[in-house]
């Protein structure tokens, strides 16, 4: 069977997750895209001091510290881009130019213009692209979407979303590139707000217009080595009120400075017959309320995911045994494999660009003091 | 010891709660205001068919169906007004004119002008007034406020509030006066949003400006008796983004059509050192996260209220045994008694007027498509 | 209408709760037993230094420090006994001898012999008796029982019960009468284990036999004033495995030294179709799982109590607004009123004696090293 | 670097989990044992119709349907045994006889005699063995153990354990080999009770004696194809009261017929200063209560696992992102690798035999009507 040569750029948090996904996708999912090809870990790119060691650990054939060489390498068919956000644009373009498929982490880029550029390049190249909105892959989320689309909670009337972490909550945390517009672009909106937008779109459709505020909670941070303090140039938090194209109203709250929250990404969807609630911090659970039957036994149901929620069963035949974060990436990888095998990519650059438009619209509204911004 | 003659107008949900509070305040709280007077259930006003029976049940000396007579009755020192919102203004004015103290349910009135009128009348009359924002009385809330004011979570940076119920969630529910502007005034904002505003102010201060949206989820409702359908003239839901006077940013979401929510009124307050979370559906619990000590044992603490959270101990010496909703009204009644005895009333008409200003500002912003409205 | 004269002995935790129940039962419940009589707070008995003051606070006509006089007082029709356990026997007998109805706190007495004596005396006297197993009155519990008896979870196959508090968890807590067999009788079994047995019987019937262990976690405690240490003579904790008459198997765990638990009294009932779970620390909630319909939406439902769970609606017409601990005693008082009016007393001395038999059987088995003890 | 040849027998639930663990252990954990060898997936054994396909999917070099050949294959250094329980004994002995290391699923065997035989064979062979008590590997569990051993909750006084699933809850489920003593041995005790015993031992030490009951909830089950009904020969549920060697008392409840429970394996450990609670259905959380500081802010903390709880960080650098069930097996595999590299195996056949002794003692006590059984 044909091999699909994998090139991985970046070996941090997301790099390792990509590597594990490539290692496991066939073993877990069987023939997901595998009728065409079996992933083969061909080439890994990192800094010269790390590349060889990590390649050995992750099981790649070879290592390099030259990402352009990786993009051009004939053994590479698909490039995983897991570097800091500011590098995505350049690397994705290079990979596409070399005729490679691209699996790129989110957000796509620092600016909307870069993201548009990437989507255009993908179209020209005719290669498969995928952006890493991995929470879309959680069987609990997928099932929530299915229930909503099947009308189990009736007509959807309101969306409430939240995404909070505390990685920038500590006032004494040192200043880093994350605080700099030129290196990080947006702050919480890019890092985590984009995930929330990805979930919202899947449930209630496109955002039509919004009004928003942003907040930089910690305005300066100490520079490393006691060299004074530097400004935080992007937002720690944002609040948004949305109108979706279908008439649903909604709101979103976003913070990277919310003490105690580690991966709190979730939503409530209100319908005329019921409600669905999800939170990634309990990623194997879904809450469902339906107004039916005797009032005396109505209540929110806590549904534990299991084989009834595909593709959970590919990981474990026993319900309630719990999938983990890394396994979401395996499911995403399977979707990418299927796209390479000819199915439609469900979160390609064109699709992910729509998410970028929303987070940049939030920033635009906030900079204009909460003025309405339309997305068409 | 002197007696404080109580007159009660209205005997529905809130009327009964007031009656129980008056019956219990001294037994529970001891000398809360009782050095001056002991409440005596003097006169109850309801419709002619109900007044006598309910007076006997609740333990009032006498009954009437004439609320003006009640306001003028010499045996009455304080008037509890628990009628539909549209009647508050007229009744409060009449009671004050007759030199009575007034305990009025929320919201104060249908319009901001009426509420202003009531506050002015109270000032002229020089009598004690109290508006029924009973959730302010929950020991869990009071303790949250204390923790925040003592700086346990550091500088407050963000407020998130929600209040959801489902009493108007059913599309097939019949049309009622609640749907009519002239009778009910605001919808969810008045009924429940006002409670949320009361909690927010106590924690983070006055609202400076806001942007908002409203939503009428069920645009018409069937008239009783199959007589067609009538319009719902007020809002089922609202979303708000706020700036507080002290620089805190915040958001609020409000719905009377949120399936499964029965009394979900709560908040998260984010600080630079921690977070406090409260929800009235688990009204005897408080969640607290503080960034201190070993990361490996940090987490949200679920604090069960007990005697360490006054005045819980007046109801029960054993922690975790659970107070109930009606007992919040006993605490409120004690605050009213203390005000009558000479302490400062903590939620009088002047104070409650500030809440009215916020909910009407929300409506104003929403009607203007989300334009910023300032409150000064 | 006739008045029912109430005499109250003891004004601590339970004394206040009884006083509030008597004050509120008619106002809340309307005609529950009130067609016959209206409770009237006639006489309160406490120590000489407290009696008059507390009587004034609670609203009793008169005060005394002579409990025998109270039992004989012609204005008293029913005696509430809320003194330490060691006094119940003597007081109940005296009240019955004087032709009074008796509402006695649990456990009935120090020894099984005393409890049997009390049941016999009640039979001879022909008066109404009631023992204070107030958790039986929780609408959440009542509804659980209804669901189980209606077969909603199928044939019951297993009972799991727990009751934990931490009032004796602190090793440095001073020695008190609670530690002394002659004054307190059983320890955790009497104080809280008896409540658990009351709930279990209501759900799955009588206990047929059991095996058990007990544990005195803190073997000595410091005497007040630094006067050395004294032995703790009764149990802090117990574990039990039960066979119920109907064939159900079960277990119970009990501790008064369980740090963090404040009022954790609850159960799981396993059936062939589903499961019901209840915990008093969230006393307004019930968990229900039923194996029906699509596996993909099965889960435990969290049911919030409301008017669909009588008599919740007598306290509040709005669901989810939360009853409190003290209100359980109002419901119990209503049951007592109905019994006095001619209905069957549902937890009289004869019935409560069956609970005593179980807790003493647990102690007996434990003292015999876990030997089986049968109850017939 | 040397390769460690892996042979896998069985490709069901546990077989796939072993395969994934072998695939990932080096990539995730880096040099865990890898200074000596890198796992290499050499040979997979399954039925003739499945072996080749699954070997290709899982990434094994070769396939066979002859497990004895696998045990003798020179390319195999370690044998993963994931077949039904009745086959473990024979296969483990064969592998050891051939000088292979053995990673065997739990329970070890059908009978205590077989398990003893296996432990003896391992000693003779001098090879590394490991039994699959994977829940011991959860960072939440490991951290609970650390907190307990460091005295954070003071002296341990009581253990409460539970393990419930519902895979045999349905009365209409067809009869299978699981119901047959000769094929399955013990029922719920072997399948899931053994896991609970593994956790208990790690926290509070060895069991000294116990009393217990068992229950066969569904006494017969329908045979496939409508061929009547057959008896269920082993237990669906058990309840146990334990004395641990160090004086701690405890209890365990176990059921494979508990509707709604999917992987509910957990415990409370009560200490003189606090309590720790864990439940596998929320495997990334730990509850901790410590009696320290102001009573007004005491409560159970919900700790979300993260990099502060090794080896979580090897899977993900961000806290709260959630590990999954399969990842526990990766941690177990790393422990096996380290044992092969010369460290002490922490759950070898000798150690696992102690767990077998406990579950068979439970069965023995139950068969004797709850008589005390000592383990020495």
pLDDT in tens, D290-334: 999 999 999 999 999 999 999 999 999 999 999 999 999 999 999
- The residue among D151, D253, D152, D242 whose CA lies nearest residue D205 is D242
pLDDT value at position A32?
62
Minimum-distance CB partner of B317 among C13, C261, C263: C13
List residues in chain C touching B: CB distance below 8 A: 12-13, 16-17, 19-20, 23-24, 26-28, 30, 57-59, 165, 167, 261-264, 280-284, 304, 306, 315-327
Strand partners, C298: none
Q: In the structure, what pLDDT confidence band is assigned to residue D35 with cuts at 50, 70 and 90?
A: low
Q: What pLDDT score does C20 carry? A: 98
Q: Is D168 helix (H, G, I), strand (E, B) or coil?
A: coil
pLDDT exceeds 90 at position B260: yes
Residue pointed to by tokens 């050949």: D69
Burial class of C87 by CB neighbour count within 10 A (0 to 12, 13 to 18, 19+): middle
Q: How far, in Å, are B6, B95, B360 from residue B118 at the CA level?
A: 20, 11, 16
Cβ atoms of A159 and A269 within 8 Å: the answer is yes
pLDDT at residue D34 is higher than 60: no
Cα D277 from Cα D232, distance rounded (Å)? 34
Contact state of A27 with D13 under an 8 Å Cβ cutoff:
no
For residue D33, the model assigns a pLDDT of: 58
Tokens representing C340? 């006095």
Q: Do C239 and D243 touch (CB under 8 A)?
A: no
Give residue D345's pLDDT.
Answer: 83
pLDDT averaged over chain B?
Answer: 96
Cβ of D322 within 8 Å of Cβ of A322? The answer is: yes
For B228, the token pair is 């067609």
C179 vs chain B: nearest CA distance in angstroms? 19
Q: Closest to A325 (Cβ–Cβ): which among D167, D283, D321?
A: D321
Chain B residue whose CA is closest to D312: B296
**Cα of C300 to nearest chain D Cα, Å:** 7
Contact D253/C255, CB-based, under 8 Å? no
3-class DSSP assignment, residue B318: coil
pLDDT digits (tens, 9 = 90+) for B97-138: 999 999 999 999 999 999 999 999 999 999 999 999 999 999
Q: What is the mean pLDDT of each run of 10 residues along chain C (376 residues)?
A: 92 97 96 74 97 96 98 98 96 98 97 97 98 98 98 98 98 94 94 98 98 97 93 98 96 98 98 98 98 97 98 97 98 96 92 98 98 94
Q: Does the beta-carbon distance from A13 to D306 stay under 8 Å?
A: no
Residue among B273, B274, B299 with most chain D CBs within 10 A, to mutate: B299
Do residues C163 and C265 touch, judged by C-beta distance below 8 A?
yes
**d(C-alpha B246, C-alpha B208), whole Å:** 9
Hey, are the CB atoms on C299 and A299 less than 8 Å from each other?
Answer: no
Query: Considering the entire predicted model, what is its pTM?
Result: 0.97
Q: Which two tokens stand for residue D132?
A: 């699959």
pLDDT score of B234 more than 90 = yes
**pLDDT single digits (tens) D331-367:** 999 999 999 999 888 999 999 999 999 999 999 999 9
Closest to D266 in 3D by CA, of D279, D248, D282: D279
How far is the C-alpha of B268 from the C-alpha of B204, rounded, in Å?
11
Question: Which residues does D contribute to its contact with B (CB < 8 Å)?
Answer: 143, 147, 152, 286, 288, 294-304, 306, 308-309
Which residues on B lie below 8 Å from C321 (Cβ)?
A: 262-263, 324-325
Q: Both tokens of residue A105?
A: 């982490």
- Under DSSP, the state recorded for B225 is G
Q: Name, in order, each residue with C-beta under 8 angstroms of D150's C-beta and a sequence gap of 6 or more.
A: none
A-chain residues near C288 (CB < 8 A): 297, 299
State the pLDDT at residue C36: 66
A374's tokens: 């339309």
**Of the candidates D295, C195, C44, C9, the residue with the CA atom closest to the CA atom of residue B313:** D295
Q: What would the 3-class secondary structure string for C294-320 be?
A: CHHHCCEEEEECCCCCCCHHHHCCCCC
Distance, CA of D20 to CA of C141 (rounded, Å): 46
Alpha carbon of C143: minimum distance to chain D alpha carbons (Å): 19
Task: Decide: D108 and D88 in contact? Cβ < 8 Å.
Answer: yes
pLDDT of residue B33 exceeding 70: no
Q: How confident is the model at residue B34 (pLDDT cuts 50, 70, 90)?
A: low
Q: How far is A314 from chain C (nearest CA, A)?
A: 16
Option in C147, C295, C303 nearest A299 (CB):
C303
What DSSP line would sit under B49-106, residue for residue?
TTHHHHHHHHT-SEEES-HHHHHH-TT-SEEEE-S-GGGHHHHHHHHHHTT-EEEEPS
List residues of chain A with CB under 8 Å from any CB of chain D: 12-13, 16-17, 19-20, 23-24, 26-28, 30, 57-59, 165, 167, 261-264, 280-284, 304, 306, 315-327
- Chain B residue numbers touching D297 (CB-CB < 8 A): 147, 152, 288, 301, 303
Cβ within 8 Å, pair B275-A257: no
Which DSSP category does D101 fall into? E
Please give the residue of chain B at the shortest CA–CA distance from C39: B59
C153: closest chain D residue by CA: D259
Distance from CA of B328 to the nearest CA of D (A): 19
* Residue range D92-112, pLDDT digits in tens: 999 999 999 999 999 999 999
Q: Which chains contact B through at least 3 pairs of Cβ atoms less than 8 Å apart?
A: A, C, D
Cα A39 from Cα A77, distance rounded (Å): 9
Contacts of A309 in chain C (CB under 8 A): 296
Chain B neighbors of A160, CB-CB under 8 A: 162, 253
Residue showing tokens 């509910």: D264
Query: For chain A, how far is it from start to end, CA to CA, in angstroms?
Result: 45
**At B302, which helix (H) or strand (E)?**
strand B300-304
- Are residues B157 and A257, on separate chains, in Cβ contact within 8 Å? yes
pLDDT tens digits, residue range B175-188? 998 999 998 999 99
Count CB-CB contacts under 10 A for residue C13: 14
Cα separation, D79 vs D9, in Å, equals 7
Q: Which chains touch A (3 or more CB pairs under 8 A)?
A: B, C, D
Contact D73, D41 (CB under 8 A): no
pLDDT digits (tens, 9 = 90+) for B266-282: 999 999 999 999 999 99
What pLDDT digit, counting tens, does each position of B333-373 carry? 999 999 999 988 899 999 999 999 999 999 999 999 999 99
Q: Give the count of beta carbons closer than 10 Å to the beta carbon of residue A85.
A: 21
**Tally of CB atoms within 10 A around B225:** 7
Contacts of D296 in chain B (CB under 8 A): 143, 303, 308-309
Q: How many Cα neighbours within 13 Å face the side chain of B237?
A: 29
* Average pLDDT along chain A, 376 residues, taken 10 residues at a time: 92 97 96 74 97 96 98 98 96 98 97 97 98 98 98 98 98 94 94 98 98 97 93 98 96 98 98 98 98 97 98 98 98 96 92 98 98 94
Nearest C-alpha of chain C: how many angstroms from B298?
17
* Mean pLDDT value of segment D122-140: 98
Q: Is the dihedral of CA A265, A270, A271, A277 positive or negative?
A: positive
């Amino acid at each position: 069977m044909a091999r699909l040569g994998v090139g991985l750029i970046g070996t941090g948090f997301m790099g390792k997750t990509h590597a594990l996904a490539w290692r496991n996708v066939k073993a877990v999912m069987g023939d997901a895209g595998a009728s065409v090809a079996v992933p083969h870990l061909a080439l890994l790119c990192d800094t010269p001091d790390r590349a060889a060691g990590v390649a050995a650990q992750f099981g790649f054939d070879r290592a390099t510290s030259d990402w352009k060489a990786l993009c051009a390498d004939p053994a590479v068919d698909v490039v995983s881009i897991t570097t800091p956000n500011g590098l995505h644009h350049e690397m994705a373009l290079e990979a596409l130019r070399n005729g490679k498929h691209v699996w790129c982490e989110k957000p796509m880029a620092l600016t909307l213009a870069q993201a548009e550029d990437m989507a255009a390049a993908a179209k020209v190249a005719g290669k498969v692209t995928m952006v890493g909105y991995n929470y879309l892959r959680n069987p609990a989320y997928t099932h929530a979407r299915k229930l909503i689309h099947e009308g189990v909670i009736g007509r959807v009337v309101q969306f409430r979303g939240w995404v909070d972490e505390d990685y920038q909550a500590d006032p004494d945390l040192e200043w880093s590139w994350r605080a700099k517009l030129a290196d990080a672009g947006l702050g919480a909106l890019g890092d985590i707000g984009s995930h929330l937008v990805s979930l919202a779109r899947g449930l209630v459709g496109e955002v039509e217009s919004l009004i928003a505020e942003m907040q930089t909670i910690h305005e300066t941070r100490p520079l490393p080595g006691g060299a004074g303090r530097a400004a935080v140039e992007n937002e720690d938090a944002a609040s948004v009120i949305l109108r979706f194209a279908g008439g649903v109203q909604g709101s979103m709250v976003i913070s990277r400075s919310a003490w105690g929250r580690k991966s709190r990404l979730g939503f409530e969807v209100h319908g005329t017959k019921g409600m669905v609630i999800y939170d990634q911090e309990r990623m194997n659970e879904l809450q469902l309320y339906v107004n039916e039957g005797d009032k005396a036994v109505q209540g929110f149901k806590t549904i534990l995911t299991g084989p009834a929620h595909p593709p959970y069963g590919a990981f474990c035949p026993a319900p309630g045994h719990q999938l983990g974060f890394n396994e979401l990436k395996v499911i995403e990888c399977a979707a990418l494999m299927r796209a390479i095998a000819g199915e439609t990519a469900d979160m390609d650059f064109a699709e992910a660009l729509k998410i970028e438009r929303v987070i940049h619209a939030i920033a635009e509204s906030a900079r204009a003091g909460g003025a309405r911004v339309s997305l068409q």
